[in-house]
């Protein structure tokens, strides 16, 4: 596949397409039009066609997209056709909730290790994962070939955890702490702050 620079907005829509396509596939729906996708996802069909056209000619005029083929292509684009091990630091309520999502991540992306700085949490079991001490972070991440780190610690500890992830060789970080963390430019960070979600939703209130 040729390498093209795709805007973050498009990259963020692809998993949403994928989720809906997976629902269709489960119901044995074989083709879907950009119109149907648009109605379901509250997006302009022209926008959807444009998004998907970045990656090649998937759709057929008057017929639509082959659901399973499109799933396969989006999975390739998002690199979900390989196994991506994930580690999480912060075994509080949010950390536990995220570990429970493991079942939805299927076999391609999985939280393989959970860490916490608090001694009383070490050894606890969350969804078959034992909470490990921060002193084992580097070793575990390198052994398990972890590529993505998730931060679910309080804001005051988030930068420190990010630094540890960067040291250990993690390539991307999903940060849930309500704080902007600093990392070298080669590490990709997404902020998944729930307050910003709520705040952007408020804009749409009358």
- Report the residue number, 2 or 61, with the smaller CB distance to its own copies: 2
Other C-beta atoms within 10 Å of 99: how many? 20
Closest approach of Cβ 180 to its own copies, in Å?
A: 6
| Residue 9: CA count within 13 A, CB half-sphere | 5
Applying CB under 8 A, the site for its own copies has a residue count of: 61
Closest approach of Cβ 168 to its own copies, in Å?
A: 15
CA distance linking residue 176 with residue 192, whole number of Å: 5
- Report the residue number, 15 or 56, with the smaller CB distance to its own copies: 15
CB 17 within 8 A of CB 77: no
Work out whether 178 is an interface residue with its own copies (CB under 8 A): yes
| Alpha-carbon distance values, 67 to 26, 49, 52, 99 (Å) | 10, 14, 13, 29
CA distance linking residue 46 with residue 160, whole number of Å: 44
Of residues 15-44, those binding its own copies (CB under 8 A): 15-16, 18-20, 23, 40-42
CA distance linking residue 33 with residue 124, whole number of Å: 47
- Report the residue number, 167 or 194, with the smaller CB distance to its own copies: 194
Residues found near its own copies in the complex (CB under 8 A): 6, 8-9, 11-12, 14-16, 18-20, 23, 40-42, 77-80, 84, 86, 92-94, 96-98, 100-101, 104-105, 109, 147-148, 150, 152, 171-172, 174, 178-180, 188-206
């Amino acid at each position: 596949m040729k390498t093209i620079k795709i805007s973050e907005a498009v990259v963020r829509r692809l998993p949403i397409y994928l989720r809906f396509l997976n629902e269709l596939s489960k119901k044995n729906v074989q083709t879907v039009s950009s119109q149907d996708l648009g109605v379901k996802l509250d997006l302009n069909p022209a926008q959807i066609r444009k998004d998907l056209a970045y990656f090649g000619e998937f759709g057929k005029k008057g017929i639509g997209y082959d659901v399973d083929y499109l799933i396969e292509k989006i999975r390739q684009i998002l690199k979900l056709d390989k196994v991506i091990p994930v580690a999480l630091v912060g075994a509080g309520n949010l950390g536990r909730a995220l570990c429970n999502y493991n079942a939805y991540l299927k076999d391609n992306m999985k939280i393989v290790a959970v860490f916490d700085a608090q001694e009383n949490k070490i050894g606890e079991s969350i969804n078959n994962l034992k909470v490990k001490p921060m002193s084992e972070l580097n070793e575990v991440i390198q052994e398990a070939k972890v590529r993505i780190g998730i931060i679910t610690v309080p804001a005051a500890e988030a930068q420190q955890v990010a630094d540890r992830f960067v040291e250990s060789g993690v390539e991307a970080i999903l940060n849930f702490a309500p704080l902007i963390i600093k990392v070298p430019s080669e590490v990709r960070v997404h902020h998944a702050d729930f307050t910003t979600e709520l705040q952007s939703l408020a804009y749409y209130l009358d």
